[in-house]
A = this chain, B = another copy of it.
Amino acid sequence: MNAANAATHSWNRRARQRAERLGRAARVLGHQLQGCHVDTGAAVPLLQAILEPGDRVCLEGNNQKQADFLAQSLAQVDAQRVHDLHMVQSVLALPEHLDLFENGIARRLDFSFSGPQGARLAKLVAAGGIEIGAIHTYLELFARYFVDLTPKVALVAAHAADAAGNLYTGPNTEDTPAIVEATAFSGGIVIAQVNERVPVGSTLPRIDIPADWVDFVIQAPRPNLIEPLFTRDPAQISEIQVLMAMMAIKGIYAEYGVQRLNHGIGFDTAAIELLLPTYGESLGLKGKICRHWALNPHPALIPAIEAGWVESIHSFGSELGMEDYIRARSDVFFTGADGSLRSNRAFCQAAGHYACDLFIGSTLQIDLQGNSSTATLGRITGFGGAPNMGADARGRRHASPAWLKAGRQARAGLAGAAGTPRGQKLVVQMVETFREHMQPAFVDRLDAWTLQEQAGMALPPIMIYGEDMTHILTEEGIANLLMCRSDDEREQAIRGVAGYTAVGLGRDARMVENLRDRGVIRRPADLGIDVRDATRNLLAARSMRDLVRASQGLYSPPKRFRNW
């Protein structure tokens, strides 16, 4: 049987197809192809020569860096020749990413985050113009690149290439190594757009991707787009956020002795970063908390770094304007021989999952079970890295005081499998009880349930499950879900910090006071925090200008953040 089968079965289809595609490209491009370098004007013909209907394609869309020129070029191919593509990319950020579907070039999508395109994506799905495979957390999508979502063609972005085709990504390495490895070692084809091509004979500042993993390099007519997603102007931090940050530092970070952590994006976490060298210092916490970070180079962390709080930061991607500061603080950041950041989303997500004791982020809705989601009606956005970092890492086996204490609290008094001693990841959601337009952050039912029906998803798009969430922090206080021993207690603990929302008003006052007596709920007063101390004066920097000053002039904010 085997012999017969082997006789009829071809085992080098991938290699043959690859050779055919490369042959077509060589024929079509002619003198527009020199070595691996393709003339800028030949991008569309190259894609038409390489791609076949139904191909699985990874168009590099990162949280920051975008292969925008290749995206625009792909949107221009002849849909008669190239169609039904299956796009597998972490972030859907550009209009062109969706044009592909409207133009009939692509049909199916597997992704992690759609950000600004969330509303348009939802409309396209509703209109049947796009078929969504699944929404992943980043590391989960990268993992599938090596199992059942391996790209046939990868379209990536780098800063520069040399004559041989070695790539220099600069600070924004991000997803590129994971994408290229999965594609190049499975008989796929890798096409890179670059901002610069260094002349023959001269070398790159460093090599991030070896030339023999890359098939074609195209110099883009303009530098690839990069978004400064993680920059927050301290001027916009409210005193409520200062109060919440004080509670986070004293009630959670100090309480558990959190040394290794990740912060989600936002003003809430920026406030924490800006309070470390002031409020944190006054509590004598320097060296006791927040020493190691899995974090992009947040400008708001500059004062804490300058004050010597931070020993190491590994980053998913970089942040515009932080280049010189990172270069001058190479003891803290992961940098290459060229002095610029080496980011790597795959490794940083692994670090966030397995090497951090705490993840703290924000959400739009939390229900009575503690399930939280940023998914709202009419938008399909995805959650990026939150599910990976906001999940208990059940495979973790190394201990730390923070992790052990959380585990003890979760298991105290339990028997059987649930009572077996084990540590637990601290997963905190930090929200004001009402968000903009007086939308309550606490709801009886997540919009995710309606979204599931609308989009026909197998499960509701929940960002972080109540089972994994350990603390909810609002301006009213901290609810420690680890210490709740029943669904009722959990519900009342949540209502007990939900303020004047309908959920909060629905609390059982006696039960809530009882939970407070047990320390399950803690108000600012219970933490010895005087609400009157929560002023903006506590912020180590109160403006972008302060951040620049704190950086010794090394941080250079993007124009839009300069108000002087």
Chain A residues with a Cβ under 8 A of chain B = 1-3, 5-6, 9-15, 110, 133-137, 139-140, 142-144, 146-148, 150, 166, 178, 181-182, 184-187, 206-208, 210-213, 259-260, 277, 291-292, 294, 303, 306-308, 312, 314, 328-332, 334-337, 342, 344, 346-348, 350-351, 353-356, 369-371, 383, 387-399, 404, 415-423, 457-462, 465-468, 487, 490-491, 540, 550, 552
A-B CB contact pairs (8 Å), 24 listed: A5-B307, A9-B308, A14-B331, A140-B395, A144-B351, A147-B292, A147-B294, A148-B259, A185-B336, A186-B312, A346-B346, A369-B417, A369-B419, A387-B396, A388-B395, A391-B394, A391-B395, A393-B394, A394-B468, A397-B461, A416-B466, A416-B490, A420-B467, A421-B459
Q: B6 to A397, Cβ gap below 8 A?
A: no
Q: B395 to A2, Cβ gap below 8 A?
A: no
Q: B397 to A355, Cβ gap below 8 A?
A: no
**Which residues in B have their C-beta under 8 angstroms from that of A355?**
140, 143-144, 146-148
Give which listed residue, B1, B312, B423, contacts A459 with CB less than 8 A: B423
Q: B350 to A143, Cβ gap below 8 A?
A: yes
Distance to closest chain B CB from A87 (angstroms): 15
**Which residues in B have their C-beta under 8 angstroms from that of A387?**
395-397
A329-B11, A487-B417 known; A334-B186 Cβ under 8 A: yes
**Which residues in B have their C-beta under 8 angstroms from that of A332?**
11
A394-B394, A397-B135 known; A467-B417 Cβ under 8 A: yes
**Which residues in B have their C-beta under 8 angstroms from that of A185?**
334-336, 342
A137-B397, A312-B148, A351-B147 known; A330-B187 Cβ under 8 A: yes
A12-B330, A371-B417, A418-B467 known; A210-B210 Cβ under 8 A: yes
**Which residues in B have their C-beta under 8 angstroms from that of A178?**
347
A423 vs B465: C-alpha distance when bound (angstroms): 12
Distance to closest chain B CB from A392 (angstroms): 6
List 12 additional A-B contacts (Cβ < 8 Å) besides A150-B312, A391-B395: A136-B398, A185-B334, A186-B312, A206-B212, A207-B212, A346-B347, A387-B395, A399-B458, A415-B487, A416-B487, A417-B466, A417-B490
Q: A397 to B417, Cβ gap below 8 A?
A: no
Q: A395 to B146, Cβ gap below 8 A?
A: no
**Which residues in B have their C-beta under 8 angstroms from that of A461?**
397
**Which residues in B have their C-beta under 8 angstroms from that of A395?**
137, 139-140, 353, 387-391
A353-B395, A354-B139, A394-B392 known; A14-B330 Cβ under 8 A: yes
Q: B150 to A459, Cβ gap below 8 A?
A: no
Q: B354 to A398, Cβ gap below 8 A?
A: no
